[in-house]
Structure 1
């Protein structure tokens, strides 16, 4: 493969010592023909032009944590943005931060900590900025801060024809709308300007609660979160516990005030039989630590789907327990949303799910695959609505319609066609 001058030394092919660390994603072992490593927007343009000239499948990667595995491929070209990882505070008074798409969220948290700033950004420091910040961003501060996309004020985008465009409220507002939730289909977003929040330390609690077969503990968790202080965000993982289940609850309170942390967390201790608990104050970067940073080499193969609940009925809770404890035993995670997420109008961004309170995620691991996941998910399939693109590993028309329902999906399709008429960035969705 001939190297353009702008990318000399930054095209990695099989046989290169770097190839085994760059070819795959977190969930999928891949074998691309080449991985391109641009260091600035001009080199992204050169990389895109080079990739298109080869006539091979194209993937774009920031962190490579994406559960679908779409940020790499077999036999094609990968544009890897990991060298574009700079984080800069542009305006401390306005809390505007410029973050390049190849940074990982641990690096962002570490860079912002000296300024007393933070951005809610997923739940693992190894996740790349670009993938999360173009899909939504359900993080540890989600009920207080909202989605990551809700605070993107501008984006720098390389379009399919090689044009570099700034999208903000006054310039290309339609492009900014699409970037915030459906950005993977309009171009390569190389940098974001994001409004951060003032935050240094947070309250952190880990609680284990026994879950009865009827799921009453889960119903109480959801009922409490619907009324809880917005400072509180939680994630729940359901795990086997003898002949029942245990809910492992991670609770994050966006304040360093111990009294408010205690008041927010204590009701969680009353939703069921508490097996274990501990709480502490910690700096925000401890949640998305630099210790999380690692190469992605396909170490966690999985198949994932998800949906949202507005409230949680007794029947919903029982269905969740059935999915987690049934014969197929999917791993079930739940995240509290609502709060600040639902302050944003449903048509303000390409993420339209602005009235629900709970995100339910189901994952199957080998040797189980999609058929087993679908069987485990069946009790919930007709109870949930919508989907979050970050936790949907099987792209296609059905997934698209759940992620981008109704008028939102119609607008996404129109804008993808406008900004990428040849479908360079949408091929993996397999849309008609």
Structure 2
């Protein structure tokens, strides 16, 4: 390697360093990079990027390392790890504007905002990094009440491919702000966001287990109810084979501390099938993305994941989903409710174009099964879904790009990636 810049002294972790074991990998992928750089501010990120480019090695950027594609590490290259940049600051309480550095985990964000009575919809696990989620979209526990995380990003601090530091907001570099909100990983290194939070302290939280029929009637009822449900309600459903039947494990979050509203929102979910168990409570929002979730990512969960979106779920769609969940490959099938506040934003306002969909369908296989098994299980669903979400796609290739960024959105993403990163150093395997 070339001479280490003074700004990075002591902040380069090489194989043999005792820290390397905890920094080499991601949640899904074990790797062996030549070096991991740990900048502590934006100027050091710029220095790290210049240093990494001088090496002529593969480059990865990591905020939390929870990304399913494993792209935030590599073999034999350089990783710029933003985990030391994890500060969270309320910069305007009246306007609810919060500055979040990209290396913060959402558990840290929720904990920092709780004393102010504020919250940001922030994925579904406290260990997820702010940077990865907030540049890809942000489907979380408050999605139908709050919308996507990107819908509330008012400004971003970005280090471009040439090391230039730029502020992107509505008046300065609005094109950069547009692409950061949904396709930011190909434009530069976002080091901090200014995000508008909402007033929220407690939420209703319920866990419901329901036996569902294999013809999909229960899933259809779930989707039909969510299409009309109050937007305070967001749900996630995991389908689990059990003998000759399926069990739907439903997590329901109601973004209010009004117990009557919570009960009224959750009660229809108990009627979609035979209820096997239920529990509900009011809880502080940080309990959903708890600091207990925080852990090092050491490749502990290898998996292959893909997803697609449904505008409305037909009976045939629901039957195909249950058939896939119970089929020979038995992928883990999860459903996330969309709609509500997501629909309030025009399709061309951000790089996330999928604004009229009610459900996200996610399928995952685990070793020893891999991509072929997932493809076989997904094939009957692929013709039914429309579009995809970047943060639940393990294989970011050209075909995935077309699904995630369709039509005019994809054309604009390509143009802006080429403008801000003409050498394609952040684009990786997209081949866009």
TM-score, normalised to structure 2, is: 0.99
Deviations 1:372-430 (A, max 9, x none): 00000111000001000000000110000000000000000000000000101002323
Residue in 1 aligned with 2:261?
A: 260
Structure 1: any 5+ residue segments left out of the alignment? none
**How many equivalent residue pairs?**
431
- The aligned runs of 1:195-234 (5 Å cut-off) are 195-234=196-235
Q: Counterparts of 1:370 and 1:216 in 2: how far apart (Å)?
A: 29
Q: Counterparts of 1:192 and 1:414 in 2: how far apart (Å)?
A: 23
Deviations 1:10-52 (A, max 9, x none): 0001000000100000000010000000000110011000000
Q: Report the aligned-residue RMSD.
A: 0.5
Q: Counterparts of 2:153 and 2:204 in 1: how far apart (Å)?
A: 26
**1:331 Cα offset (Å):** 0.3
| 3-state SS of paired residue (2:136) | coil
- The aligned runs of 1:292-307 (5 Å cut-off) are 292-307=293-308
Tell me if 1:309 matches 2:310.
yes
Contact 1:6 1:43 in 2 (8 A): yes
Tell me if 1:25 matches 2:26.
yes
Tell me if 1:174 matches 2:175.
yes
Residue in 2 aligned with 1:57?
A: 58
Residue in 1 aligned with 2:292?
A: 291
Q: Counterparts of 1:15 and 1:342 in 2: how far apart (Å)?
A: 50
| 3-state SS of paired residue (1:134) | helix
Residue in 2 aligned with 1:116?
A: 117
Residue in 1 aligned with 2:157?
A: 156
Deviations 1:284-315 (A, max 9, x none): 00000000000000000000000000011110
Residue in 2 aligned with 1:281?
A: 282
Q: Counterparts of 2:214 and 2:166 in 1: how far apart (Å)?
A: 53
| 3-state SS of paired residue (1:224) | helix
Q: Counterparts of 1:112 and 1:412 in 2: how far apart (Å)?
A: 32
Q: Counterparts of 2:229 and 2:31 in 1: how far apart (Å)?
A: 43
Q: Counterparts of 2:218 and 2:379 in 1: how far apart (Å)?
A: 21
Q: Counterparts of 2:175 and 2:324 in 1: how far apart (Å)?
A: 39
Residue in 2 aligned with 1:165?
A: 166
Q: Counterparts of 1:169 and 1:346 in 2: how far apart (Å)?
A: 17
Q: Counterparts of 1:46 and 1:163 in 2: how far apart (Å)?
A: 10
TM-score, normalised to structure 1, is: 0.99
Q: Counterparts of 2:104 and 2:176 in 1: how far apart (Å)?
A: 22
Residue in 2 aligned with 1:130?
A: 131
Residue in 2 aligned with 1:339?
A: 340
Q: Counterparts of 2:212 and 2:59 in 1: how far apart (Å)?
A: 45
Deviations 1:93-115 (A, max 9, x none): 00000000000000000000000
Contact 1:322 1:379 in 2 (8 A): no
Residue in 1 aligned with 2:351?
A: 350
**1:4 Cα offset (Å):** 1.4
Structure 2: any 5+ residue segments left out of the alignment? none
Contact 1:323 1:329 in 2 (8 A): yes
Q: Counterparts of 1:166 and 1:322 in 2: how far apart (Å)?
A: 48
Deviations 1:107-155 (A, max 9, x none): 0000000000000010000000000000000000000000000000000
Contact 1:85 1:103 in 2 (8 A): yes
Q: Counterparts of 1:411 and 1:263 in 2: how far apart (Å)?
A: 43
Q: Counterparts of 2:333 and 2:14 in 1: how far apart (Å)?
A: 38
**1:3 Cα offset (Å):** 1.9
Contact 1:113 1:200 in 2 (8 A): yes
Deviations 1:234-285 (A, max 9, x none): 0000012121110000000000000000000000000111110010000000
**1:322 Cα offset (Å):** 1.1
Residue in 1 aligned with 2:370?
A: 369
Contact 1:225 1:336 in 2 (8 A): yes
| 3-state SS of paired residue (1:110) | helix
